[in-house]
Structures are given as structure tokens and as C-alpha cells.
Chain A
Amino acid sequence: MSARTLIDLPPRVRRGQAFEVRVSIGHPMETGYRRGADGAHLPRDILSEFRCDFEGEPVFRARLYPAISANPFLAFAMVAERSGELLFSWRGDHGFAHTERVALFVE
């Protein structure tokens, strides 16, 4: 399934120095609590899980609930000792799954 994502990290980072990773993804995060024009609840459609791994090591995991705003944004701090690949993945209702890979340059 395709989705628009924004992944923001420094073009290159220093070994052992903390930096911030900021990610967002286009998704309505329909809560399941809103009602449509016919008075019926709009069915829930949210992203429930986000993970970020670096070379197989878990960096950050998030369990998301309907209280997370549309187009979920997450920012967290990480540190790396070597260059490698960051893997970002989102999972959600109705079988939603999306993965992005971004190279990280450590000097």
C-alpha cells in the first residue's frame, strides 16, 4: 500500500552524537468516534503501530491510538556508531502496511 511519507534526518551525523529523527505519514487516522451525515459512526481507520529499526536493532516503537492526529507525526532522538540503513514501518487498520528505507551516513 502506498502512502506519502516525510522522513527528516541530518544529511550526515557524527559518530556517537545524538540527532533527531522526524517522520510523518499521510493518513486520515479516522477515530471511529465521529458520525457521518447519516448519523452512523464512521468506521475506525487508524495506524496502530510505528517502528524504526537501524540495521536490525530496534530504535523506536510506537503504539498509536485514535487520539493521534491525522497524518501522524513522531520525533525522537537517536545515536549511531556507524553508517547503515534505517527502516521505518507503519501498520494499521484494514491491513495497512508501509515501509521506507533511508540511508544514514555517520562520520
Chain B
Amino acid sequence: MATGFAAEPAAVRALQPAAVPALGTAAAPAAVPALEPAPSLNAAIRAFTGGATLRPGKVLVQVAPLVDNGNTVPLSVVVDHPMRPDHHVAAIALFSERNPQHEVANFQLGLCSAAARVSTRIRLATSQKLVAVARLSDGAFWYGEAEVIVTLSACIED
């Protein structure tokens, strides 16, 4: 089932610009309409940050821009920050924009953690944005995003 949905190359080319909307000030019009972020996504993120200021950067969400099967999507979150006892990444939370529940996972790193890098496999109900937020030991919050296009969604197919 999963392999039966090979995306057409032309469609892939048309959709890819939407994967990098953050820089697109003067870019050509996106091939797909921009998705409005759900207000509840911000609420879920605020529950993690406690309303603290959220700064873009440091956090990299590594995921394929186009996935065939939303049931198992390999994903890594890397935070560009040292892991010294006095200065480290304390936690990383991952959110999805358009899954039934915005929370995906929440990772806490101990002092034996060697690097702020976590990999897992997630489900995506539809094409959407993923947001990872890192909490540093000094209480600062940084975030990174990734857009993913899903051709076969989780939840609908078994």
C-alpha cells in the first residue's frame, strides 16, 4: 500500500517551493496555498514554554520534504548548542500543526547526553508544518520548523 503511491515527478517539483516558505519574500507564488497555522498549535507550544520568548534558530528539524507514507516518517531534531553541565539543552518538544493532537513527543536530556540530537519515527495525518522547540539550561527557548508534504496520510489508511 505504502509503495503504491509514487508521486509524479512534475507534482514534486511544483510542490517543493512550499517547503521553504520562511525565506520566500520575493519568491514566486507558492504552488500550494499557504497553510494558516492553527491557533491551537501556538497554545500547545505556549504550554511548553510557559509563555517565554521563543527565538528562531539553533534547532534543526531533519525530515524528508516529501513523504509517501505518513504512518512512519523518520525525523531527527538537532540543536546546535553545547552539552556542558552548566550550559546545555535541557529539553526538546516536537509539535505538529495538523495532527489530531499537536504534541508529538517531549524529550528531556540528562547530563550523560553527549549531544542534543534525537531521532524517532512519527505519524503525520496530512501535509503540514513541524515545529521543534528546545529549552536551554538558562531558560531560553529556541525553535526550528520543517514543512512536510504527505501523499498517504496516517489515520486514514491502516
Contacts and interface: CB of A to CB of B under 8 A. Distances in A.
Interface of A: 18-19, 22, 31, 33-34, 54, 57-70, 72-80
Interface residues of B, number: 31
Interface in B112-136: 112-115, 117-124
A76 B73 contact: no
Nearest to B110: A58
A57 B110 contact: yes
B42 interface: no
B112 A62 contact: no
Given A60-B108, A65-B104, A75 B118 contact: yes
A39 B115 CA distance: 45
Contacts of B101: 65-67
B145 to A, nearest CB: 16
A66 B122 CA distance: 9
25 contacts: A18-B115, A31-B100, A31-B123, A31-B155, A33-B100, A33-B155, A59-B112, A60-B107, A60-B108, A61-B110, A62-B107, A62-B118, A65-B101, A66-B100, A67-B105, A67-B122, A68-B122, A69-B121, A70-B72, A74-B118, A76-B107, A77-B115, A78-B114, A79-B112, A80-B112
Interface in B64-106: 71-73, 76, 96, 99-101, 103-106
A3 to B, nearest CB: 17
Contact of A66 (B112, B115, B123, B158): B123
Contacts of B122: 67-69
A80 B110 CA distance: 12
Contact of A59 (B110, B123, B158): B110
A80 B113 CA distance: 9
Contacts of B121: 68-69, 72-73
Contacts of B106: 62-63
